């Protein structure tokens, strides 16, 4: 066994809340993803497997360009695999039509990106209400639910502010409220704190963790921050087209760090 000291994630100090007996909510088997580019075929995943149980908060790390965002896009039915099976929240997402994929996302997935993507011409309250309006709820109902969510992220006093009138941390808290307003089962977060300073990033992650627990979510968070990853129930690393537990290398027989 080869030990290294690189960016160890102290998994053994994590709270014992791994929901081992709960049902799998994400099951990915033998995933392949290739892109045809002017330089030839780019293979991102080959034989990638992933099982996530209900209630888990999973961190995914890996080098830039490894395919982390693409994996979240496939789980959230924003992109299609080249091959393999992807079951997510009781849905075979690989076979959905565009219309079915949109309905699946609205029903099951809360998405948070590194950049908030709030609509600049709408207030914080209206931005949070958007997924409910897209579902066909009345404006009155949607705004009432959105107001509750702004309270959950401690921003009820900013409800009439437009995104440009909010700080980076506040914008990301509004984005979290918008992601969760339609009560999805899965939260997919792609470097949700990557654009924030360390203190603000810690606070946004505190909120994400609190909402994950209080709303019984299953969450996958892509992050480059080992301290934040260490707070998740487990950490996986995307390497050479596959996911490996943190501390294990995809080179057979070689183990690094502390599993
Ligand atoms: P990460 O999130 O780990 O940084 P990404 O999933 O964003 O990685 O991208 C992985 C690789 O796939 C990158 O090299 C990127 O350029 C490439 N890629 C992503 N989308 C496409 C596409 N539509 N066509 C061709 N290449 C793509």
What tens digit of pLDDT does each residue of 222-236 get?
Answer: 999 999 999 999 999
What tens digit of pLDDT does each residue of 128-154 get?
Answer: 999 999 999 999 999 999 999 999 999
CA gap 188, 204 in Å, rounded: 15
SS3 of residue 145 by DSSP: helix
- For residue 91, report the distance from its CA to the centre of ligand 1, in Å: 25
Bridge partners (DSSP) of residue 14 are none
Most confident of 2-11, 219-228, 246-255: 219-228
Q: What pLDDT score was predicted for residue 71? A: 97
State yes or no: pLDDT of 155 exceeds 80: yes
Judge if the beta carbon of residue 117 lies within 6 A of ligand 1.
Answer: no
Least confident range from 7-21, 93-107, 110-124, 171-185: namely 7-21
Q: Tokens for 183, please give them.
A: 């009560």
- For residue 238, report the distance from its CA to the centre of ligand 1, in Å: 13
What percentage of the chain carries pLDDT values higher than 90?
81
- For residue 35, report the distance from its CA to the centre of ligand 1, in Å: 9
Instruction: Name the nearest CA neighbour of 184 among 99, 92, 75.
Output: 75
Homologous superfamily of 24-245 in CATH? Answer: P-loop containing nucleotide triphosphate hydrolases (3.40.50.300)
> What is the rounded average pLDDT for all residues in the chain?
88
The answer to whether 75 and 188 are in contact (CB under 8 A) is yes
Q: What pLDDT score was predicted for residue 94? A: 87
Tell me the whole-structure pTM to 2 decimals: 0.88
Mean pLDDT of all residues in 85-109: 92
Mean pLDDT of all residues in 66-83: 96
CA gap 247, 258 in Å, rounded: 5
Q: What pLDDT score was predicted for residue 2? A: 34
Q: Strands 83-88, 91-92: parallel, antiparallel or unpaired by DSSP? A: antiparallel
Q: Among the atoms of ligand 1, which is closest to the Cα of residue 238?
A: 3
Judge if the beta carbon of residue 67 lies within 6 A of ligand 1.
Answer: yes
- For residue 195, report the distance from its CA to the centre of ligand 1, in Å: 19
Q: What pLDDT score was predicted for residue 12? A: 43
Judge if the beta carbon of residue 243 lies within 6 A of ligand 1.
Answer: no
Domain extents in the chain: 24-245
- 66-71's contacts with Cβ under 8 Å and 24+ in sequence apart are 66/238, 66/239, 67/33, 67/238, 67/241, 68/190, 68/222, 68/238, 69/190, 69/222, 70/33, 70/44, 70/45, 71/45, 71/238
Judge if the beta carbon of residue 66 lies within 6 A of ligand 1.
Answer: yes
SS3 of residue 243 by DSSP: strand
Q: What pLDDT score was predicted for residue 258? A: 36
What tens digit of pLDDT does each residue of 43-55 get?
Answer: 999 899 999 999 9
- 67-70's contacts with Cβ under 8 Å and 24+ in sequence apart are 67/33, 67/238, 67/241, 68/190, 68/222, 68/238, 69/190, 69/222, 70/33, 70/44, 70/45
């Amino acid at each position: 066994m080869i030990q290294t000291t690189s960016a160890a994630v102290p998994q053994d100090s994590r709270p014992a809340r791994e929901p081992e007996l709960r049902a799998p909510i994400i099951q990915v088997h033998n995933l392949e993803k290739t892109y045809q580019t002017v330089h030839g075929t780019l293979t991102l995943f080959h034989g990638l497997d992933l099982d996530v149980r209900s209630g888990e908060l999973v961190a995914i790390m890996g080098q830039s360009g490894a395919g982390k965002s693409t994996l979240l896009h496939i789980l959230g039915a924003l992109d299609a695999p080249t091959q393999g099976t992807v079951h997510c929240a009781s849905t075979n997402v690989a076979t959905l039509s565009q219309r079915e994929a949109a309905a699946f996302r609205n029903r099951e997935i809360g998405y948070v990106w590194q950049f908030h993507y709030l609509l600049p011409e709408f207030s914080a309250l209206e931005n949070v209400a958007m997924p409910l309006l897209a579902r066909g709820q009345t404006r009155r109902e949607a705004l009432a639910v959105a107001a509750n969510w702004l309270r959950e992220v401690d921003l009820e006093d900013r409800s009439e502010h437009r995104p440009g009138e909010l700080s980076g941390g506040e914008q990301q808290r509004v984005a979290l409220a918008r992601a969760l307003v339609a009560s999805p089962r899965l939260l997919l977060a792609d470097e949700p704190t990557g654009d924030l300073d360390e203190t603000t990033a810690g606070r946004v992650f505190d909120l994400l963790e609190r909402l994950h627990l209080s709303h019984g979510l299953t969450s996958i968070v892509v992050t480059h921050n080992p301290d934040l990853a260490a707070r998740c129930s487990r950490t996986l690393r995307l390497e050479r087209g596959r996911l490996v537990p943190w501390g294990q290398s995809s080179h057979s027989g070689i183990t690094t760090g502390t599993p």
